[in-house]
Structure 1
Amino acid sequence: MNKIKFIILLSTLFISNLVYAHEMSGGGGFITGLTHPVLGLDHLLAMLSVGILSLQIGGRAIWMVPATFVLVMLIGGVLGMQEIALFSVELGIAISVLVLGIAIAIDKKLSPLLAMLFVSFFAIFHGHAHGTEMPYLSSPVFYALGFVLSTACIHLVGVFLGYSAKSLNMGSQLLKFLGLLIAAIGVYLCYNTIF
């Protein structure tokens, strides 16, 4: 029965037609920041992947890797607010989904330090996408609080999904399949961004 619930939860990720979270209009408070990472499939899958990857590594990485992502994402947000350009932010976000999915599928334990460096690189792009919108919003501070809280919660959901999958028979294979599925969506996102 748990497998069915897990598959249903996974399938709901694909219902949204809001593939890219950073094309929003109006608003700009706490709720907008809170929903922003959830409504964009690219952000959502990357955040879930960071949580799952941290669980696969285990130990202190379960909290260190997601915390690093959130902190570096804030730095990326500041860069975006200051209008400091990065090369192809959208492509960087799409590649993050692809690479994180591959990392989950490979299921090779990275050292926590390497994983932190790995997710930091992608966090810059995710933060930059949020930060470029902030100066134009009515409540940028509350928006930032919302997207930071939402990001941290999505990481926790990723850890929970990983833990739930590992508790099932063939849980490692299920996570590898999930990683391949996320990577395949990452390929689509990269293609869609380039073309």
Structure 2
Amino acid sequence: MNRLLSAGLAGLLTMALALPALAHTGHAGHAMFQQGLLHPLNGIDHLLAMVAVGIWAVQNGGRAVWLLPASFIAMLAGGAILGMSGVELPAVEAGIAASVAVLGLLVLLNRRVPVVAGMLLVGAFAVLHGHAHGAEMPQAADPVLYSLGFLLSTAMLHGAGIAIGLTRHIPRLLSAGRAAR
């Protein structure tokens, strides 16, 4: 099961990272989308935080499995709009670093919180990550295509975290099923 999951995740990341040959004109939109798609994958801080959101969502269980990633993505978009608009936020880089530390600790400690509190926490971190994505958008990029790219990439990273979180629970679920027989 773990090999299958690993192969699937590797395949998804390979497809996301594959750059098409742009030998013909009219591919600027694809390049803008790809720049956005690749942006979250270019920094370990973004990778770790976004995967951690997925893992932590599974650890919280129930509605949190989809509400935490959905909150992150919605607030990521809002933060990106702020960054693209030139709105300054204090301590964005420190906040992004804190998101990695805090989310990592929550995962490590398997700390569950009420769904709304989790949504607020990941949402606050997402605004900072989104601001960084928006502020670092190439000047020539189309904001919509670039944003669609990093939002899709973020959703994929959350999905990878959810998959990791689910595979960590499989042995416990299997043993509980055997005990019930």
Matched, 1:168 2:171: yes
Structure 2 counterpart of 1:99? 102
Contact preservation (8 Å) 1:28, 1:140:
no
Structure 1 counterpart of 2:88? 85
Residue among 147, 165, 168 paired with 2:150: 147
* Matches of 1:112 and 1:144, distance apart in 2: 26
Deviation digits for residues 154-180 of structure 1, max 9, x if unmatched? Answer: 1011000011122136xxxxxxxxxxx
Structure 1 residue identity aligned to 2:116: L
Structure 1 counterpart of 2:47? 44
Contact preservation (8 Å) 1:50, 1:65:
yes
Contact preservation (8 Å) 1:76, 1:125:
yes
* Matches of 1:138 and 1:147, distance apart in 2: 13
Runs of 4+ in 1 over 4 A off after TM superposition: none
Deviation digits for residues 44-77 of structure 1, max 9, x if unmatched? Answer: 1000000000000011110011000000011101
* Matches of 2:83 and 2:64, distance apart in 1: 28
| Structure 1 residues not aligned, in runs of 5+ | 10-26, 170-195
TM-score (norm 1): 0.71
Contact preservation (8 Å) 1:28, 1:137:
no
Secondary structure at 1:168 match in 2: helix
Structure 2 counterpart of 1:68? 71
Structure 1 counterpart of 2:131? 128
| Structure 2 residues not aligned, in runs of 5+ | 10-29, 173-181
**Structure 1 position 2, deviation (Å):** 3.9
Residue among 34, 38, 52 paired with 2:37: 34
**Structure 1 position 139, deviation (Å):** 2.3
* Matches of 1:88 and 1:34, distance apart in 2: 24
TM-score (norm 2): 0.76
Structure 1 residue identity aligned to 2:57: S
**What's the C-alpha RMSD, in Å, of the aligned pairs?**
2.2
* Matches of 1:39 and 1:85, distance apart in 2: 22
How many correspondences in the alignment? Answer: 150
**Structure 1 position 135, deviation (Å):** 6.2
**Structure 1 position 91, deviation (Å):** 1.1
Q: Which of the two has higher C-alpha Rg?
A: 2
Deviation digits for residues 15-38 of structure 1, max 9, x if unmatched? Answer: xxxxxxxxxxxx961111111112
* Matches of 2:58 and 2:103, distance apart in 1: 13
Structure 2 counterpart of 1:111? 114
Structure 2 residue identity aligned to 1:142: L
Secondary structure at 2:137 match in 1: helix
